Amino acid sequence: MSSAHTQRIPQEEIEKQYHYMQEVAALNIQKESESGKKSFAQIRNFGCQMNEHDAEKIHGMLLAMGYETTDKSENAAIVIFNTCCVRENAEEKVFGHLGALKALKRNNPDMIIAVCGCMTEQPTIVDEIKKKYKNVDLVFGTHNLHRMPELLYKCLQDNHRIYETSRTDKEVAEGLPIERASNIKAWVTIMYGCNNYCSYCIVPYVRGHERSRMPEDIIKEIKELEESGIQEITLLGQNVNSYGKDLETPVTFAALLDMICTEADVPRIRFMTSHPKDLSDELIDVMAKHKNICRQLHLPVQSGSSEILKRMNRRYDKEKYLSLVEKVRAKIPDIAFSTDVIVGFPGETEENFTETLYLFEKVRYDMAFTFIYSKRTGTPAATYPDQVPEDVVKDRFERLLATQNNICRELNEACVGKTLDVLVEGISRTSDSHYTGRTDSNKIVNFTSNKDYTGKIIPIKITSAQTWSLEGEVAENMD
């Protein structure tokens, strides 16, 4: 019986994929005994945290299929591009790399080139790959990630090109292998897709409708991570505030977060992204109640002008956003805000832009991701008149960056002399005794230490500040 609610993909389908993982592994063993060489795979990842985490799933499946990963295409039996299309330059990069592999494939015709991720959910892109990139053997969409073993097996066996981008909306895959990039920090997806249709954004078209995972599946995964000693978990969703509305028994994001903090004991929990239109009082209260929820909130504003926000279809205005920031600060005074912002949205006037500058001065973000508007075919904004000229956009972008850099530096300078808890992530690139980690508020801290505290949360006394990072030393009571 079909249902309006999100369901798990049937167990038989997942088992079928495990079967194909074994089939591919058997092919690889055979190849290895013939050639004496291990089969290597290269994953080339683009885009957001969601894609980084999908790459961990791809990695998990590849290992189960008997591949070892490599960072050199020359050694690879298979190269997988996990793509992003949020802005035009992300797509151009992928096409550039695909073109560059043509020569390699001529010398090594058995090499499989696969393209998956957000780009492949656009029919025009798939057509372009078909026509211009004949070196690509396998294409599958974000909805078909769990079917990679079967598709790859067919590609290896039948030796013809395979394209699969059909939709399985209202379903989520559970129980596939994940090979995590870190044993200190982990991503946990709580929902897929987006229903918001901001007028500039391609994500809802390529990631599909909102689909939430069942709370019990999320908690199970988090408990396993807790047992493995994970120190920090980031819950992922395009808008976590919509979590659970599509489940048979609806659950709010605040209730899920409360459940996670009550049932599991992970030192740090973060989440992203929160859409300002539906950040609830209940969520602020849950954040205030649990000390292991990081004092950090990513709250993308996109523009400081109510007129632009309306045309962006963001469903809040400048006043509502600012009062939300105040409300959160009243309950959680040490909260650090971060944001995403777009410069040069169609029709943005100098006055509209000045409002964004003003909002930045007012909120004083600890961190901001600033983007130049990129026209995405198929989105409403692509047809809006008054696209802003490139030189005007560039000038605004530089001014916004300068404003934000000043704020970042001032906020960082205010940390000097303080002792902050830092989750140590490992040795920084500069020297052996130089380590790097992050504060609860997600600031980068570099420090020297004779002892290796990797994977631990330790107090660091901040000694100096830069725009993007802090310098410090291990607080005296630790050494």
Residue/partner pairs of 455-459 with CB below 8 Å, 24 or more apart: 455/183, 455/184, 455/229, 455/231, 455/424, 456/231, 456/423, 456/424, 457/231, 457/267, 457/268, 457/421, 457/422, 457/423, 457/424, 458/421, 458/422, 458/424, 459/419, 459/420, 459/421, 459/422
Nearest Cα neighbor of 337 from 181, 266, 441 is 441
**Tokens linked to 431:** 């020297």
Say whether residue 342 binds ligand SAH (CB under 6 A): yes
Q: Give me the residues that bind ligand SF4 (CB under 6 A), please.
A: 194, 196-198, 201, 203-204, 238-239, 275
Least Cβ distance, residue 402 to ligand F3S (angstroms):
26
DSSP per-residue letters across 42-79: EEEE-SSHHHHHHHHHHHHHHHHTT-EE-S-GGG-SEE
Say whether residue 318 binds ligand SAH (CB under 6 A): no
Say whether residue 400 binds ligand F3S (CB under 6 A): no
Say whether residue 86 binds ligand F3S (CB under 6 A): yes
Return the residues of window 106-125 that contact ligand F3S according to CB under 6 A: 118
Among 44, 57, 59, 87, binds ligand SAH (CB under 6 A): 87
For ligand SAH, which stretch binds (CB under 6 A), given 9-17, 101-109, 196-204, 303-311? 196-204
For ligand SAH, which stretch binds (CB under 6 A), given 73-81, 167-175, 197-205, 393-401? 197-205
Least Cβ distance, residue 386 to ligand SF4 (angstroms):
21
Say whether residue 328 binds ligand SAH (CB under 6 A): no
Among 42, 47, 328, 343, binds ligand F3S (CB under 6 A): 47
For ligand F3S, which stretch binds (CB under 6 A), given 98-106, 199-207, 374-382, 448-456? 199-207
Say whether residue 45 binds ligand SAH (CB under 6 A): no
Could you tell me which residues come within 8 angstroms of residue 145 by beta carbon, excluding any fewer than 6 positions away?
Answer: 54, 57, 58, 116, 173
Residue 101 CB: number of other CB atoms within 10 A?
20
Distance CA 220, CA 223 (A): 5
Return the residues of window 236-275 that contact ligand SAH according to CB under 6 A: 238-239, 273, 275
Q: Angle between the 49-64 and 11-35 helix axes, to the nearest 10 degrees?
A: 60
Distance CA 336, CA 73 (A): 40
Return the residues of window 169-198 that contact ligand F3S according to CB under 6 A: none
Say whether residue 207 binds ligand F3S (CB under 6 A): yes
Say whether residue 374 binds ligand SAH (CB under 6 A): yes
User: Taking the mean position of all CA atoms in its chain, how far away is CA 226?
Assistant: 21
Q: Look up residue 120 and give its DSSP letter.
A: G
Least Cβ distance, residue 235 to ligand SF4 (angstroms):
16
Least Cβ distance, residue 100 to ligand SF4 (angstroms):
30
Residue among 243 and 435 whose Cβ is closer to ligand SF4:
243
Q: Is 135 helix (H, G, I), strand (E, B) or coil?
A: coil
CB under 5 to 8 A by kind: which of ligand F3S, ligand SAH, ligand SF4, none does 448 bind? Answer: none
Distance CA 253, CA 244 (A): 7
Distance CA 381, CA 375 (A): 7
For ligand SAH, which stretch binds (CB under 6 A), given 184-192, 200-208, 283-291, 321-329? 200-208
For ligand SAH, which stretch binds (CB under 6 A), given 35-43, 109-117, 170-178, 373-381? 373-381
Among 302, 303, 352, 436, binds ligand SAH (CB under 6 A): 302
CB under 5 to 8 A by kind: which of ligand SF4, ligand F3S, ligand SAH, none does 197 bind? Answer: ligand SF4
Residue type, 408: C
Q: Is 360 helix (H, G, I), strand (E, B) or coil?
A: helix
Q: For ligand F3S, which residue has the nearest CB? A: 47
Distance CA 221, CA 230 (A): 11
Could you tell me which residues come within 8 angstroms of residue 187 by beta carbon, excluding any fewer than 6 positions away?
Answer: 49, 52, 53, 56, 233, 234, 236
Number of shown-chain residues binding ligand F3S (CB under 6 A): 11
Say whether residue 314 binds ligand F3S (CB under 6 A): no
Q: 436 φ, ψ to 5°?
A: -135, 150
CB under 5 to 8 A by kind: which of ligand F3S, ligand SF4, ligand SAH, none does 447 bind? Answer: none
Cβ atoms of 153 and 176 within 8 Å: the answer is: no
Nearest Cα neighbor of 446 from 268, 464, 294 is 464
Residue type, 69: T
For ligand F3S, which stretch binds (CB under 6 A), given 83-91, 287-295, 298-306, 469-477? 83-91
Q: Where along the sequence are the contacts to ligand F3S (CB under 6 A)?
A: 47-48, 50-51, 84-86, 118, 203, 206-207
Interface residues with ligand SAH (CB under 6 A) are: 86-87, 200-201, 203, 238-239, 273, 275, 300, 302, 340, 342, 371, 373-374, 376
